[in-house]
Amino acid sequence: MPRRRPSALRAQRALPRPVYAGAEHCRSDRPPGPWPARIDRLSSRTTAAIHREECRRPYDEGLWPGATLTALETCRHFLALPGRWLYLRRDYCACEHCDLRNDIAVARDLLQLVVSRLPPRPRRELEAVLAALDGQLWRRTVPDPFARRQPHRRGAWWHQRLYDLDHLL
* Torsion angle, alpha carbons of 150, 153, 155, 160, to 10: -110
pLDDT category of residue 14 using cuts at 50, 70 and 90: very low
pLDDT category of residue 99 using cuts at 50, 70 and 90: confident
Domain annotation covers residue 139 = yes
Separation between Cα atoms, residue 86 and residue 161, nearest integer Å: 10
Q: How many domains does the chain have?
A: 1
Domain annotation covers residue 2 = no
Tally the C-alpha atoms within 13 A of residue 151's C-alpha that lie toward its C-beta. 0
Containing structural domain, residue 161: 39-168
Residue 37's pLDDT is 76
The string of pLDDT tens digits covering residues 30-81 is 445 556 678 999 999 999 999 999 988 777 677 888 899 999 999 999 999 9
The pTM of this model reads 0.77
- Are 75 and 133 within 8 A, CB to CB? yes
Domain annotation covers residue 11 = no
Distance of CA 41 to the CA centre of its chain: 15
The string of pLDDT tens digits covering residues 109-148 is 999 999 999 999 999 999 999 999 999 999 999 999 888 8
Domain annotation covers residue 22 = no
Domain annotation covers residue 82 = yes
At residue 10, φ and ψ (nearest 5 deg) are -65, -40
Domain annotation covers residue 8 = no
